[in-house]
Amino acid sequence: MTAFLSIADKRHIEEAAADPAVRSSLITDPRRGMERILGRPLGDVGIHLHEEPAGAMYFALPAPGQGGAVPEARTRRQFFENMLFEMAERSPALLRQAETDPRRMFFDLTGNDVDLPPGHQPVIFADGPSEIHVVLPQPSESIEDELPDDLLEFVAGGAPSPCNSRAGENKSSVAAGLDKLSL
C-alpha cells in the first residue's frame, strides 16, 4: 500500500512541528512522527523531510491528483505555496519554469505585483509515485511569519487573492496570472 499526503496533511504536519518537541521527533524519525500526527500509517512510501534553512523558502508539491483542498494561507510562505499548488494543477509548462527559475515564476504569476521576500531563494520538491516530501518551515520567530501588507491587500480584497482559489473564491487572479504567460 502506498500512501500520499494531501496539502492539508502537509500543513497539519508543518503546524504541529511548531512545537519544538514534535519537531525534534519528526527530525529523529520522520515516518513515525508523521504517522503519529496524522493518526494513520503511511505505507510503503519513501519519506523525505526537508528543514527550511535561513534564506530559502521550500515548497513540497503533492503527487498529481493528490493535493485535495488547499487550506487558507496564514503566512507569507503559505501564500506563495498556495499559488504554486494552483499553478501545478493548471499548467505543466509553468511548473517546468518553476523547476528552472522558481523566483521568476512566482513574479510572473502575480503579474509582477508581489515578489518573494528579498534574498529568499525558492526550492521546490515534488512528490513522486513512491515518495513524499514534507517541509518543516523555519521556526516562526526566525522569519517574518505574518502576511505583509502587499499580501494582506490580496487577502483583504484590495486585489483578488490567488491563495484561496481552490476554495472557489477568486480563481480569476490566478487564472489571469497563468493566462498572461505565453507558454
Q: Which residue has the cell 512566482?
A: 106
* More confident of the two residues 111 and 142: 111
**pLDDT per residue over 147-173, tens digit each?**
555 555 655 555 544 444 434 333 434
pLDDT given for residue 163 in this prediction: 44
- Structural domains in the chain, sorted by start: 7-180 (3.90.330)
- Region of residue 28 (left: phi > 0; alpha: psi -120 to 50; beta: else): alpha
69 pLDDT more than 80: yes
99 pLDDT more than 80: no
Mean pLDDT on 80-100: 78
pLDDT band at residue 146, thresholds of 50, 70 and 90?
low
Residue 53: partners with Cβ closer than 8 Å, 6 or more residues away: 138
**pLDDT per residue over 77-87, tens digit each?**
888 888 888 87
**CA pair distance 108, 102, nearest whole angstrom:** 10
**CA pair distance 183, 181, nearest whole angstrom:** 6
47 pLDDT more than 90: yes
Mean pLDDT of the chain: 76
Say if CB 83 and CB 16 are below 8 A apart: no
pLDDT given for residue 149 in this prediction: 58
Closest residue by Cα to residue 120 from 34, 59, 171, 166: 59
